[in-house]
Amino acid sequence: MKIGVLAIQGDFDAHKKRLEELGAEVVLVRKPEQLDQIDGLVIPGGESGAFLKILGEQGIAKLKEFVRVKPTFGTCAGAIMLAKEVTNPGQFGLGALDIRVRRNAYGRQIDSSIRTGKLGESPLEMVFIRAPKIERMGPGVEVIATEGNDAVAVRQGKAMAATFHPELSEDDRLHRVFLDLVRDGNGVHG
């Protein structure tokens, strides 16, 4: 199982390390054609506007096709990339998840924070860094994790996203959920 981590900007190394610890073969994806060689993709945190700029029109088109057919996990800026609608400020979204996200939604005072949310019914440490909030979810979107009243990890079909940084906590359960999704194709998890 080959997992790509988009490695044009942002914190791709922590994802690589985590996925390797879980037994995956990891490819750092720097060129659009590398998407042809992988079974699933992680889009890390970073700056979503910079991702779009660096990818360019051709890269974005290729990525849009990829997320339609192959499992993709976006964290923070990666979650913004996968959304259908993006606000504050508005920008293009790949539309793999029928959600609207508001960028930098926690405001300046709490630029980053570590909180305990819930993965299903069990507690999960969550690192938020200039994080977006999911403001709207379409009917096909399943909530995987919550923090307070907010859905902070969601899934729809082959796409999943977390508004926080699971790669920065020791808990590896969300990465396991993603690898299950790549392995089984249907991502059924308990």
Residues at the interface with ligand GLN (CB under 6 A)? 45-48, 76-77, 80, 103-104, 129-130
**Which DSSP string corresponds to the chain?**
-EEEEE-SSSSHHHHHHHHHHTT-EEEEE-SGGGGGG-SEEEE-SS-HHHHHHHHHHHHHHHHHHHHHHS-EEEETHHHHHHEEEEETTT-----SEEEEEETTTTTTTTSEEEEEEEETTEEEEEEEES--EEEEE-TTPEEEEEETTEEEEEEETTEEEESS-GGGSS--HHHHHHHHHHHHSS----
Output the smallest distance, CB 124 to ligand GLN, in A. Answer: 17
175 in catalytic set: no
170 in catalytic set: no
**C-beta of 64 vs 130, nearer to ligand GLN:** 130
**C-beta of 22 vs 129, nearer to ligand GLN:** 129
Q: Which of 167, 170, 175, 189 is catalytic?
A: 167
**C-beta of 48 vs 156, nearer to ligand GLN:** 48
Q: Which of 15, 76, 147, 175 is catalytic?
A: 76
165 in catalytic set: yes
Output the smallest distance, CB 117 to ligand GLN, in A. Answer: 16
Q: Which residues are catalytic?
A: 76, 165, 167
